[in-house]
Amino acid sequence: MNGMIFAAGLGTRLAPLTSSRPKALVEVLGQTLLERAILHMTDAKIRNIVVNVHHMADMIEDFILSHRSEWQCDIVISDERDELLDTGGGIAKALNLFTDTNDIVVRNADIITNASINSLVEYHKASNADATLLTDGRTSSRALLFDSDGRLSGWKNKKSGETKTPHIVKTAYEEAFDGIHVISQRCIRKMLPVRKMGIIDAYLDMAADTTILRKPIADGEYWFDIGTTEKLATAESFLSNLK
């Protein structure tokens, strides 16, 4: 199994922590978000990982070089210094860096979770899906829409009322995306040529003729988006209480 970690973000909402370091190197209880993401993947036996870089890319490369002997995996850099390609474009650019044709587990660096990657992959394989997204029912201003079979059918901005519905079906599930997904390489090839685009926009563009499924986070699993200093503090408090 292959893995990819998005570590190219600017992290502006985490200022002032990101004034001197990239978002992926912000620490949570003394451990960087990037290392937590890498260990999350290696715990699932993922041994080939691509990390994309853009903002303060040299710092991320130096961090990986100085710590890679501690991790049981091979890490390759996907360089986006010239242009930040967003999540969909980042995956498309990295396609040729994977050494085999296996599916790819993709996750954002700026999330903390104990959600089982193995369970997500098993569900994805059993469903013969092109892509499978980890989701949950938390309150979010932007929601993904799924039909009764759990297949992606649309997107809705609850604040503006904007909707995107690539194929019109009755919505059975309205859930938030948790920033972790499994995607087949045949699905990534549909996103070529490489250009700047978000992964959700890419999924919506191909949803009518591609099997993109939801996999809800399991009961007892936690998930935090480390998008702001307030959310970072909340995650640290939660994790401290687990010890």
Percent composition of the chain: helix, strand, coil (DSSP 3-state, to 5)? 35, 30, 35
Residue 200 lies in a domain: yes
What is the structure's pLDDT at 158? 87
Residue 166, pLDDT > 80, answer no
Residue 57 lies in a domain: yes
User: What CATH number corresponds to the domain at position 100?
Assistant: 3.90.550.10
pLDDT in tens, 51-102: 999 999 999 999 999 999 999 899 999 999 999 999 999 999 999 999 899 9
More confident site: 111 or 170: 111
The reported pTM is 0.96
Q: 171, exposed or middle or buried, with CB in 10 Å at 0-12, 13-18, 19+?
A: middle
Residue 169, pLDDT > 90, answer no
Residue 70 lies in a domain: yes
How many domains is the chain built from?
A: 1
pLDDT in tens, 101-118: 999 999 999 999 999 999
The pLDDT of 127-135, averaged and rounded, is 98
CA distances from 179 to 37, 101, 159, 167 (A): 12, 22, 21, 23
Residue pair 46/3 in contact (Cβ under 8 Å)? The answer is yes
What is the structure's pLDDT at 19? 93
217: helix, strand or coil? coil
Residue 163 lies in a domain: yes
Structural domain including 51 reads 2-218
Residue 241 lies in a domain: no
